[in-house]
Amino acid sequence: MTSTLLRRVRPGVRGLLVGLLTVVFLTPFYLMLRNALMDSQGLTSPRWTWWSSQMHWENFTALFEDPTLHMGQALGNSLLIAGITAPLSTLLASAAGYAFARIPVPGRGFLLALVVATLMIPGSVTFVPSFVVVGSMGGVNTLWGVIAPGLFNPFAVLLFRNFYLQFPAEIEEAGRLDGLGWLGLYRRIALPSSGAMLASLGALAFIDSWNAFLWPLVIGQDPSAWTAQIALSTFLTSQTINLPGLFAGAVVTVAPLVAMFLIAQRYIVEGIATSGLKG
């Protein structure tokens, strides 16, 4: 009797829990869109309204019409930086992970320990040396100066190493019979078989690069090198705070990330599940 009652109640409880979690996670997106369509008086009013009685769509057009904001160029810079960083860093991590997993070279364990050690070093420690190196090479106010330090991802290297350690060695042995070397095995067998890992880590790298703020702020000192996150920060100054513009800019800049997540969410889950980190 009790077990039958539990079986009947469990789907309802599960549905209620999923509904509550959905509301919690969607609330920030609702608040961003609501505030983006209001004026300054409505945002600062002590009276709460669930939705604006008059939609101020001009808040979005003002983003791209402001000559001092450079929002269109900033979005283009962010798209270019993330579009280059994500595939390159993922491909480099894949190649390094395969080398650590398969190629028997002297000192491989020591080199892997060095990669793991980089995960323990705070980013604030390497920030100034990275700026000195990039600045000495003329990378200030350039997009490649923003891109270059983010191409090495030690965490992705470890994930790919775990993935390739689980890869069936029999498939590679068949490739060796066809005369393939290490590079051929990686390019023709291992790399095409790691599509889920490439997609998931590439999506995460894109999101991380898109959301980066401090490093692009220091390197991109000229407005021509601003990213979307830096352009958003101009709405908050010591003299003025443009809340409608800030929320409108937040909606515009978060839209590509939402689209990326909706497209790649299945690959993200599948990639992490096959990386060796599942419980």
pLDDT in tens, 38-58: 877 777 777 777 877 777 788
Looking at residue 90, what is its pLDDT?
A: 93
Read off φ and ψ for residue 241, nearest 5 degrees: -135, 115
State the Cα–Cα distance between residues 45 and 103, nearest whole angstrom.
64
Looking at residue 278, what is its pLDDT?
A: 43
Q: Counting Cβ atoms within 10 Å, is residue 160 exposed (0-12), middle (13-18) or buried (19+)?
A: buried
State the Cα–Cα distance between residues 151 and 146, nearest whole angstrom.
10
User: C-alpha distances in angstroms, 193 versus 151, 199, 275?
Assistant: 22, 12, 13
3-state secondary structure of 56: coil
Q: Which residues of the chain have pLDDT under 70?
A: 1-9, 237-239, 268-279
Q: Which two tokens stand for residue 257?
A: 């990330």
Looking at residue 93, what is its pLDDT?
A: 92
The strand ranges marked E within the chain are: none
State the Cα–Cα distance between residues 279 and 277, nearest whole angstrom.
6
**Are 42 and 49 within 8 A, CB to CB?**
yes
State the Cα–Cα distance between residues 171 and 175, nearest whole angstrom.
7
The DSSP result for 114-166, as a single string, is HHHHHTTS-HHHHHHHHHHHHHHTT-TTSHHHHHGGGS--HHHHHHHHHHHHS
State the Cα–Cα distance between residues 266 and 107, nearest whole angstrom.
37
**Are 235 and 246 within 8 A, CB to CB?**
yes
> What is the identity of the amino acid at 254?
V
User: Which pTM value belongs to this model?
Assistant: 0.82
Looking at residue 89, what is its pLDDT?
A: 93
